Structure 1
Amino acid sequence: MNSMNLSSLLTFTRDGEWGQNKAGPGLVEMRVIRGTDFKNIQIGDISTLPVRYIPENAASRKILQPNDILFETAGGTKDQPTGRSVFLPKKIFSLSKIPLICASFSRFLRVDSEKIDPYFLYLYLNYIYNKRIIYKYHVQHTGVARFQFTQFTKEQNIPIFNTHQQRAISSIFSVLDDKIELNRRTNETLEAMARALFRDWFVDFGPTRAKMAGEAPYLAPELWELFPDGLDEEGKPEGWKTEPLDETATFLNGLALQKYPATGDTSLPAIKIAQLRSENTETADPVSPDIPDDYIVEQNDLLFSWSGSLLCKFWNGQRGALNQHLFKVTSKRFEPWFIYEWIQFYMPEFQAIAAAKATTMGHIQRRHLTESLVTIPPSNIVLAANKSIGSLIEQIQSHNGQSHTLTHLRDLLLPKLMSGEISIRDAEKMVEDAA
């Protein structure tokens, strides 16, 4: 198979800009893609991109275009060296009303599409990153780690599959990426529907207030009849109760897992705040599996980080061990979705409390859970909500599980296709069966 030097496959490459945080003369408003945004960009999500103001001369030369590849050239960590990349399809640009640029710790690669398919090149860069082939260009003496990009482009040869093979391989991974993105967007809609129903029924008491105002029913008759006709003296529907959040569920704090090092052939990944945020355990510390069963985290367990970056998620990664600063939330009385929605309702307040802490890592305390009151309806309404709101959460979890499987398949197929270990036809069949 023929190969070409990477530098000969590029028509243009420049490093990025960070710009200013405020508008001013001679500055252009742009969204900036950082290395931390790469994973979100890959699934078609630009919500994390900060808006910055870039000098006009740099903005005009460095504005990104569809089919560009972004390449991380600085930063990184011991567990995640520099050299990661992300592809920018046309649909990413349709999501932003202002131009895109990459941050100063990255650079963009503009590919000569007559020599190689840009998406195929991106896949190959991922392949040699995951195989640790390019790790030798990651240099860290002191301070911020750097990637020796110029040397890399001069020395790295890229195998040139024929045009049909390039397009076929690109199509395989495009199908996987598109399905993962579709699941994400569908889940955003389902999440919004579940949140709206929850707020209307259990926070705003919409059906009861509508009855009091003499408004027409907006729920099915059998549901409408379940809601009381009026509010009590405390302002909640008649016959409903309130309880502290921490009495509706058990909030189990994780272990100091550094005390449980992995010593044998088997281990569990330590699930910390970083893993909860990324839903990925690739760089997690291995710990002993000999911990109490309650501290084992399984798929769809409800986790709540009460320190640092406060967030609450249903776990969508592999089996692991619960680290300190995370709660595993369980309830014998209520379905997980009910507790999840109440935590999300109070999350802005929790985050404000944590942000106000005069420490390096803000947090909430147990008393804040006690002070957060939950409205408890009668069992017949809880059962009805399980069928409506609960079913939406179940669909979200199903989509998350499928996306997790597709991501695993993507990671499995990439090295096998690039090395010729598996045929394109067999890979297409595997993707067809999974998607």
Structure 2
Amino acid sequence: MSWERYRLGDLYEVHNGLSKGSKFFGSGYGFLSFSTVFNNYFIPDELPDLVQSTEKEQESYSIKRGDIFLTRTSETADELGMSCVALKDYPHATYNGFTKRLRPITDKVVPEYIGYYMRMPSFRNEFMAFSTMTTRASLRNEDLLGLKVNLPNLDKQSSIANILREYDYLIENNQKQIKLLEEAAQRLYKEWFVDMHFPGYKNVKIINGIPVGWYNTSVDELGTYLNGFAFKPSDWHSRGKPIIKIKEMKNGISKDTPRNSGERIPSKYIIDTGELLFSWSATLMVMIWNDEQGLLNQHLFKVTPNVGIGKMFLLYSLKNALAEFSNLTTGATMKHIQRNKLNQVFVNVPNEKIMNNFEQIADKYQNQILIHSKINKELSEARDRLLPKLMSGEIEI
């Protein structure tokens, strides 16, 4: 296979993103957020975020097929330079000020190919070496454009990308199944605890909007919230327990997940399979951890249910409250929840019988979710093992 090596600066021009005040977000036109870039190889078909942008801003900060978006600043170098590629044009959309856009200036690159190439650990290690650490990690344009990529001809690029995309199609199908299961559990939660159509509700007396034997309280009172350990880049090693960050919550443990022996880390930060995690910064998400034992990084809560509160009930109480939490976050671009905001979101807590009934049903959904998640982890690992071999030409196409 014939390969050529190019500087990114010979293939792309760089442009920073749109920065606006918080009052402009939540309505308007499509907006590519930091978290969407961080969590996806390719931009989703529909952008989940909105911003009020002008025609001039839409023109200057446009998103077109072939554009690469990179997280340009972060609190840790490991979260720096995560890439996400546009596979179509997004009319009227703009992108985040904490990202950089690389727009093609040639026709030598297949977008699907570069989307996988930029996520290779070997390539990420190259440009991470150029990042600067002050109070935050950042990328300089001259260093970024000086990085080099290996390109075969366009047909070979397409062939390589198509092989890798087959894995992603299977992963996406499993993700759809997971989403359906989660939605079923969330619908059940809403029906029982928001709409109050729980089993036997017609025979229960309601006083001040609350069934007898129930109570209303803040999510802060449902459990204890432990913020993770403030790991530094110097704490990241290749051996030991994996350090669980937002990335690991989203994608699980991977080869580029940093590790630490844990010898100097208090045991309270050890996370076992089955623990409830809540990401409160950049990406708001809640999940049951289903990977190997690890160490909790800052910006994540380990949430332990209080006595009388079921884990599934707590999980879906938090999931149901995410939209409300989003409205209480601070920061226009990298949003986070202040600890005291947990006192401002309230839920209805049922009696023991209804609580146990919900736990049994939700547990069944959760077990199916774990099965699909395990399959996706295996598919992701197979894809990631294949990725460098295809990109290096070790496997001939």
TM-score by length of 2: 0.71
Aligned to 1:336: 311
User: SS of the counterpart of 1:206?
Assistant: coil
Q: Which runs of 5+ in 2 are unaligned?
A: 331-335
Classify 1:377/1:284 alpha carbon distance in 2 versus 1 (closer, same or farther; 3 Å).
same
Q: Does 1:64 pair with 2:63?
A: yes
Deviations 1:388-426 (A, max 9, x none): 4433333333333333333333332211222244566xx
What CA distance in whole angstroms lies between the structure 2 residues aligned with 1:132 and 1:389?
41
What CA distance in whole angstroms lies between the structure 2 residues aligned with 1:8 and 1:347?
39
Aligned to 1:190: 181
8 A contact 2:74–2:80 mirrored in 1: yes
Aligned to 1:37: 36
8 A contact 1:70–1:107 mirrored in 2: yes
User: SS of the counterpart of 2:350?
Assistant: strand
Q: How many residues align?
A: 382
Q: Does 1:298 pair with 2:272?
A: yes
Specify which of 106, 117, 120 is matched with residue 113 of structure 2: 120
1:275-286, aligned counterparts within 5 Å?
Answer: 276=249, 282=256, 286=260
Deviations 1:231-289 (A, max 9, x none): 32535556x54486899976373675779x97999522344677657766856562515
Aligned to 1:394: 367
Q: Does 1:419 pair with 2:395?
A: no
Aligned to 1:364: 340
What CA distance in whole angstroms lies between the structure 1 residues aligned with 2:102 and 2:391?
23
Q: Does 1:109 pair with 2:106?
A: no
What CA distance in whole angstroms lies between the structure 1 residues aligned with 2:337 and 2:164?
39
Classify 1:145/1:291 alpha carbon distance in 2 versus 1 (closer, same or farther; 3 Å).
closer
User: SS of the counterpart of 1:126?
Assistant: coil
Classify 1:50/1:407 alpha carbon distance in 2 versus 1 (closer, same or farther; 3 Å).
farther
Deviation at 1:70, TM superposition (A): 0.9
Aligned to 2:53: 53
Cα RMSD of the aligned pairs, angstroms, is 4.9
User: SS of the counterpart of 1:177?
Assistant: helix
1:209-358, aligned counterparts within 5 Å?
Answer: 227-232=200-205, 234=207, 235-237=209-211, 240-242=213-215, 251=224, 253=226, 267-271=240-244, 276=249, 282=256, 286-288=260-262, 295-304=269-278, 312-322=286-296, 326-330=301-305, 336-345=311-320
TM-score by length of 1: 0.66
Aligned to 1:160: 152
What CA distance in whole angstroms lies between the structure 1 residues aligned with 2:359 and 2:43?
31
What CA distance in whole angstroms lies between the structure 1 residues aligned with 2:236 and 2:32?
40
Q: Bigger radius of gyration, 1 or 2?
A: 1
8 A contact 1:137–1:147 mirrored in 2: no
Q: Does 1:375 pair with 2:350?
A: yes
What CA distance in whole angstroms lies between the structure 1 residues aligned with 2:140 and 2:238?
34
What CA distance in whole angstroms lies between the structure 2 residues aligned with 1:265 and 1:101?
37
Classify 1:3/1:315 alpha carbon distance in 2 versus 1 (closer, same or farther; 3 Å).
same
Amino acid at match of 2:338: G
8 A contact 1:85–1:122 mirrored in 2: yes
What CA distance in whole angstroms lies between the structure 1 residues aligned with 2:218 and 2:23?
43
Deviation at 1:302, TM superposition (A): 1.2
Q: Does 1:147 pair with 2:125?
A: no
8 A contact 2:324–2:345 mirrored in 1: no
Aligned to 2:333: none
Amino acid at match of 2:84: V
8 A contact 1:243–1:376 mirrored in 2: no
User: SS of the counterpart of 1:205?
Assistant: coil
8 A contact 1:272–1:326 mirrored in 2: no
What CA distance in whole angstroms lies between the structure 1 residues aligned with 2:370 and 2:33?
28
Deviation at 1:127, TM superposition (A): 3.3
Deviation at 1:361, TM superposition (A): 7.3
Deviation at 1:140, TM superposition (A): 6.6
User: SS of the counterpart of 2:340?
Assistant: coil
What CA distance in whole angstroms lies between the structure 1 residues aligned with 2:22 and 2:347?
37
Amino acid at match of 2:372: H
Classify 1:347/1:376 alpha carbon distance in 2 versus 1 (closer, same or farther; 3 Å).
farther
What CA distance in whole angstroms lies between the structure 1 residues aligned with 2:374 and 2:276?
14
User: SS of the counterpart of 1:402?
Assistant: helix
Specify which of 172, 175, 180 is matched with residue 171 of structure 2: 180
What CA distance in whole angstroms lies between the structure 1 residues aligned with 2:351 and 2:167?
42
Amino acid at match of 2:53: Y
What CA distance in whole angstroms lies between the structure 1 residues aligned with 2:383 and 2:262?
29
Classify 1:192/1:84 alpha carbon distance in 2 versus 1 (closer, same or farther; 3 Å).
closer
Relative contact order higher in (CA < 8 Å, ≥ 6 apart): 2
- What percent identity do the matched residue pairs reach? 20
Amino acid at match of 2:260: P
